[in-house]
Amino acid sequence: MKKTYLHWDILEEAREWFERMHLNIDVVVGISKGGLPAAVLASHVLKKPLYLVEAKSYTETHHKKKMVFKPLNLPKKLKNKNIFLVDDIFDTGETLKTTMKYLEQDLGATVFPFVLVSKEMPNIVHGVIVMKLCKKEEWIVFPWEHEPPA
């Protein structure tokens, strides 16, 4: 699989997106680990509290595995709150679907999902804000990952 290496300027581009957004957001929720850099940035730009969830379906060596989902510091009282959900990439949609189901059905929140990069236009989860599109066959390496360009 071809690897595409992104640079730190992706966060500067995300900052510009966050500044232009006109959403009524109460809190930011970042999906650990990949979504955390952009979620921290969104929390600062939007001046909203940041909460975290862990949701992943890949191992550190890029192999598919069973979905792991765990709310980390989410308060139970998010009913009727508007959540800006931030992740790094939309691939299969499993991570966003699992997280959104928990936030919407279990906690009663309204979710506005955002991803830095999508391998396709999300049709599994409606309303996803996508900053960049890439090819399905690419493996995206973000600058905060431990793999330097070859």
Q: How far apart are CA 95 and CA 21, in angstroms?
A: 23
Res 62: pLDDT: 56
Residue 31 maps to a domain: yes
Domain total of the chain: 1
Res 10: pLDDT: 95
The 3-state DSSP class for residue 61 equals coil
Residue 111 maps to a domain: yes
Residue 40 maps to a domain: yes
Residue 150 maps to a domain: no
Residue 63 maps to a domain: yes
pLDDT at 24 over 80: yes
Q: What is the CATH number for 133? A: 3.40.50.2020
Res 31: pLDDT: 95
Tokens 């396709």 map to which residue?
Answer: 120
Q: Which domain holds residue 62?
A: 2-141
* Higher pLDDT, residue 92 or 103: 103
